Amino acid sequence: MRPPVLLVFLMRFEEASAMLQAIGQYERSHQQWSIFLDDEARAERDPAWLRSKKWRGVISRHTTPELVANCRALGIPLVDLNDTPLTPGVPKIRPDNVAIGHLGAEHFLERGFHHFGFTGFANDTWSCERRDGFVEALRLAGHSCSILDVEYPGDITPEWDAAQSAALAAWLKKLPKPAAVMACMDVRAFQVLSAAHDAGLLVPEEVAVLGVNNDATRCELSYPALSSVAPNAFQSGYLAAETLDRMLRGEDVGDVDIRVEPVGVTTRHSSDILAVDDKNVASALSFIRERACSGISVEDVLRYASSSRSQLEKKFRRYIGRSPQAEIRRVQMARVKQLLQETDFPLKRIAELSGFEHVEYMCVVFKRLTEETPGSFRKRTQAREA
């Protein structure tokens, strides 16, 4: 008989899907369990519900002291995936938050930033660890960091969110520009984006923003699309299943506290820039990123930036190493690649959406810059993802 195993996961968090996929993969290849998914996390708040079946083991992403106490009373092995301090006797797998902070700092340093900020929650250990990692990496590179930490109430209400926007806007205005700001999590980064908009600051030209957790759907819906550090949720889920399997076989795993390295930074519009402290260049870059796929010309950029062609050409080559025309093409090509990879649109439609009047010209430019045709690029990337 397959041992019944309870999984306690709230599915509104995108990382839950990756963790569950990993648990399923381990279970299929190592140990056949009878799995029940508690996707409302009832087990953490209802002892009677937990006692309704004789579970052999529990893996929980939303572990509470009550769940720990109830599992102990019932003699059920529990593996904790919650990013909270270690509970003695309960194996824990969680992100390496210091490494996440380091990765965020490296992301900005590679882009040439010299002014930095971090904002998070002073009453959450995981946030403080990410802050400390970010500050440490910057210090080792010879830079300081402005910090704005607040007390997290545990639930974001419209009133609290509005109050945060005002405080963040005042803080962002004081930062030397261009500034690079890392937030402890994506939700906090969304607040930073909103505050930057309220303060009249350009993102990413004046303030580049980076979140953590890489909830892809939410990150793509934000404006501009949010760059984010991606924890390795799949690896965390796999290690949790492996640890529970060892416990079910009678092994004493002790006070396991495994820190899982992040996957990397998923770069989107909010930090996809080199640090530029020239207002004309920053303004022109912002205009290009907004309008390149609408078919703009260099003359349109010159009018927007209030600059002569020769002056702007010199500044672009100095700050970003390419001409305004090359930057327009770079943004267009990034859009073409995205559409080829993520959609089944015909080339004519892709040309329209990326600012090319003629599909033939788009194909010529694409092959010149990538050394392959749009069709071969689509086939190669989609096959790789599949």
pLDDT tens-place string over residues 307-348:
899 999 998 888 878 899 999 999 999 899 989 988 889 999
Where do the CATH 1.10.10.60 domains begin and end in the chain?
Answer: 279-385
Instruction: Quick: pLDDT tens for 92-103.
Output: 999 999 999 999
In sequence order, the 6+-apart residues with CB closer than 8 A to the CB of 167 are 148, 150, 195
Residues 80 and 62 sit within 8 Å (Cβ to Cβ)? no
Which CATH number applies to 97-231+266-271?
A: 3.40.50.2300
Instruction: Quick: pLDDT tens for 87-128.
Output: 898 999 999 999 999 999 999 998 889 999 999 999 999 999
Query: HEC states along 274-311?
Result: CCCCCHHHHHHHHHHHHHHHHCCCHHHHHHHHCCCHHH
Q: Is the pLDDT of residue 74 over 70?
A: yes
For residue 382, name the pLDDT band (cuts at 50, 70, 90): confident
Cα dihedral value 222, 225, 231, 232, nearest 10: 110
Where do the CATH 3.40.50.2300 domains begin and end in the chain?
Answer: 4-94+233-260, 97-231+266-271
Position with higher pLDDT, 202 vs 97: 97
Quote the pLDDT of residue 135.
97
Cβ count near 231 (within 10 Å): 24
Alpha helices in the chain (DSSP H): 14-29, 47-51, 65-74, 97-109, 125-140, 158-174, 186-198, 216-221, 233-248, 279-291, 298-305, 309-319, 324-342, 347-353, 359-370, 374-385
Q: Is the pLDDT of residue 386 over 60?
A: no
Cβ count near 146 (within 10 Å): 16
Q: Is the pLDDT of residue 385 over 70?
A: no
Quote the pLDDT of residue 14.
81
Which CATH number applies to 279-385?
A: 1.10.10.60
Compute the average pLDDT of residues 175-179.
Answer: 94
Question: Which tokens sit at 175?
Answer: 């930062």
Which CATH number applies to 4-94+233-260?
A: 3.40.50.2300
Say which range, 128-132, 135-139, 264-268, has the weakest mean pLDDT. Answer: 264-268
Mean pLDDT (the chain, rounded): 91
Q: Is the pLDDT of residue 305 over 70?
A: yes
For residue 289, name the pLDDT band (cuts at 50, 70, 90): confident
Compute the average pLDDT of residues 185-212.
Answer: 94
Compute the average pLDDT of residues 27-48.
Answer: 87
Say which range, 66-75, 171-180, 247-256, has the weakest mean pLDDT. Answer: 247-256
Instruction: Quick: pLDDT tens for 6-30.
Output: 999 988 778 899 999 999 999 888 8
Compute the average pLDDT of residues 256-260.
Answer: 93
Quote the pLDDT of residue 280.
84
Compute the average pLDDT of residues 222-234.
Answer: 94
**Rounded-to-integer distance, Cα 213 and Cα 185, Å:** 6
pTM score, whole prediction: 0.77
Residues of the chain above pLDDT 90, percent:
66
**Rounded-to-integer distance, Cα 49 and Cα 74, Å:** 13
Say which range, 165-174, 193-202, 278-287, 290-299, has the weakest mean pLDDT. Answer: 278-287
Position with higher pLDDT, 282 vs 229: 229
Q: Is the pLDDT of residue 139 over 80?
A: yes
Helix (H/G/I), strand (E/B), else coil: 57: strand
